[in-house]
Amino acid sequence: MIKQKNEIIAIGKYLRLSPIKASRVLNQIRGKTYQDAIIMLQFMPYRACINVKKILESAASNAEHNHGLQKTQLIIKQAYVNQGPTMKRFQPRAQGRAFPIHKPTCHITLSVINQIENN
- CATH class of the domain defined by 8-118: alpha beta
Could you report the per-residue pLDDT of 6-43, keeping only the tens digit for each?
889 999 999 999 999 999 999 999 999 999 999 999 99
Residue among 74, 18, 91, 14 nearest 48 (CA): 18
pLDDT tens digits along 80-115 = 999 999 999 999 999 999 999 999 999 999 999 988
Residue 9's pLDDT is what? 94
The pLDDT confidence band at residue 50, using thresholds 50, 70 and 90, is very high
pTM: 0.88
Residues facing residue 111 across a β-bridge = 9, 78
What residues does each domain of the chain span?
Answer: 8-118
pLDDT of residue 4: 63
